[in-house]
Structure 1
């Protein structure tokens, strides 16, 4: 009953935030305009991420205990959303975005001591510990995950579906471990994303009419989602109350990670900036094969669920971390070969 109350409250706040923010976004020019890379019609309000954060903030302050972790998370998230909103409105330079992400990462690392110091028993020789290098590793990991989810926001419903899949998998991992300290976090975030996803896909149109035309998440939302993912993964895999193994984290966010790493590698080989926008992501490639946007969405979302399922099963049956790691690397190599074949 308590969980249902939190979910209902979060959904309600997210829905209200969308209805309130849409006219404000249009008035302020916080809209996405079509161009050579963005093939949509009309000016679409970029308020999905802002509405999600408002709902998470309201539900967290209302229902969750006041802890240092919660305060630092909300402050870091607010900064991330603000930087993302500025990028949505003014198209910030990559360097400015990265500096902002580093500042936000510092709140997590030094504010609550949340950094990756243990990678688990990856080679059957005992746990791989990073010591002080864990701080640098965490900075890199935060930037990678934030931008991995940011890069997946390319077709309607994709970033929302992948995010809900990831947060649901994290919640299941917390339940499986019996460690429920952070369980409410992924449940609240996943629920806050649902109204955005419904508006983005036009599921409310028949009920509420034309006033509910689609909205986009924007960089404010995709970077907030990425930050939340890496924050929860770090809290869930590190420390004395670790709930699941670090290698499992690779599987529950496999699609964003694989896509980003593959894109960065391809662009590096061509001498291009890895952060420059382009139409060489997985969803773009699949669409060029003849799949529609909806077919692409269903296919990628299904694969993401399967990958998360593999991670959950590996955790449940305690499959050796070395096997899970080798399997992931093998899958990534296969992924690159398939994408290369499709592209040709």
Structure 2
């Protein structure tokens, strides 16, 4: 169906994978959530608002995958989805927590609304940036689901959404990472990255703000750890580009997966390293939360992680060369079987190297 609709990603100067790859991962994940919610979910205004807003984002992402629509249109739809979340579902950021040890910082509505809109749109684009190699965005999203399950503490209302989302992501990974022979590779597409970014933004805002009983499940600062590496990567990338006097949205190749690939790690090794680093980051947030760390201490820990990450990216290729030195140089990537199975020659294998494991995303 994707091929007949031309909803496929084709190689070009920015996208160097092999062959036309269907961009259906995000669409199927949304359909999984939609069907499960309508059949088994507890009907509520919040549920319908989420499904409507997420559906609009998925449609927008699919249109962008197919027609490469304007970034301004995408941003407009992201703003509309956030406004639906705020005004119809009542989910928005109005409490920043006790950042300075002098009591919670409460935002007036006139500030809380635009702050939430920008935060949601920002994280949607953060997940889009993190979709850099096969499995990266989906694996980091699974880590976020697990972290939420631990923090939420088995609340019955969260069991069905968490299992549904995790199962859908695992199903996608089977195809995306080609865990079973002869399964065709698929990509998340912009539909998928927009869906995941919006979903996690909604969840962390809902659970980090005061509920009906007057107490949040975890603090707004802990929410930053739930959002994980995509947030850290986006913040440090924007800071680095501004420092260089560049457009913050200008693409480059100094994201963490670029550094590791340049250091000679294979795409699967790169993915494994990123998963381990992401798990450590989530683990730090969980430890601080259950250890009773005050918000200001959690904020310092988050800023220290961002600072370390920023330094690593600033010295990206120097770091890459150091890693290469300790690894004994860059090892050739062996993917002969993969290319042979698809009918590519050894010459084609040499031409493309590891490029077929890059996702459809440009080097954002």
Compute the TM-score of the two structures, normalised by the length of structure 1. 0.88
1:307 paired residue number: 281
How far, CA to CA, are the matches of 1:226 and 1:25 in structure 2? 23
2:356 paired residue number: none
> After alignment, is 276-285 or 128-137 more displaced?
276-285
1:67-116 per-residue CA deviation (whole Å, 9 max, x = no partner) reads 11111011111001000001111112211111110011111011111110
How far off is 1:136 after superposition?
Answer: 1.3
1:155 equivalenced with 2:133 (yes/no): yes
Instruction: Write out aligned runs for 1:1-344 (5 A).
Output: 24-132=1-109, 133-175=111-153, 179-205=155-181, 210=182, 212-241=183-212, 242-344=216-318
How far off is 1:240 after superposition?
Answer: 2.4
1:239-264 per-residue CA deviation (whole Å, 9 max, x = no partner) reads 22521111111112231011112222
CA distance 1:253–1:152, change in 2 (3 Å): same
Say if 2:144 and 2:228, in contact at 8 Å, map to a contact too. no
Q: Would you identify which runs of 4 or more consecutive aligned residues in structure 1 move more than 6 Å?
A: none
1:13 paired residue number: none
Give structure 2 stretches of 5+ with no counterpart. Answer: 319-364
- The alignment partner of 1:156 has SS state of coil
Query: Higher helix proportion, which one?
Result: 1
1:96-144 per-residue CA deviation (whole Å, 9 max, x = no partner) reads 1111100111110111111100011121111111121111110111011
Of structures 1 and 2, the larger Rg is shown by 2
Say if 1:49 and 1:219, in contact at 8 Å, map to a contact too. yes
Aligned residue-pair number: 314
- The alignment partner of 1:286 has SS state of helix
How far, CA to CA, are the matches of 2:253 and 2:4 in structure 1? 30
Say if 2:205 and 2:223, in contact at 8 Å, map to a contact too. no
How far, CA to CA, are the matches of 1:173 and 1:74 in structure 2? 24
1:17 paired residue number: none
CA distance 1:99–1:115, change in 2 (3 Å): same
How far off is 1:276 after superposition?
Answer: 4.2
> After alignment, is 113-122 or 178-187 more displaced?
178-187
Query: What do you get for the CA RMSD once the two structures are aligned?
Result: 1.5
How far off is 1:195 after superposition?
Answer: 0.6
How far, CA to CA, are the matches of 1:114 and 1:179 in structure 2? 18
How far, CA to CA, are the matches of 1:46 and 1:168 in structure 2? 26
How far off is 1:63 after superposition?
Answer: 1.0
Say if 2:240 and 2:310, in contact at 8 Å, map to a contact too. no
Say if 2:23 and 2:65, in contact at 8 Å, map to a contact too. yes
How far off is 1:271 after superposition?
Answer: 4.4
CA distance 1:131–1:184, change in 2 (3 Å): farther
Compute the TM-score of the two structures, normalised by the length of structure 2. 0.83
Say if 1:25 and 1:47, in contact at 8 Å, map to a contact too. yes
How far, CA to CA, are the matches of 1:277 and 1:42 in structure 2? 23
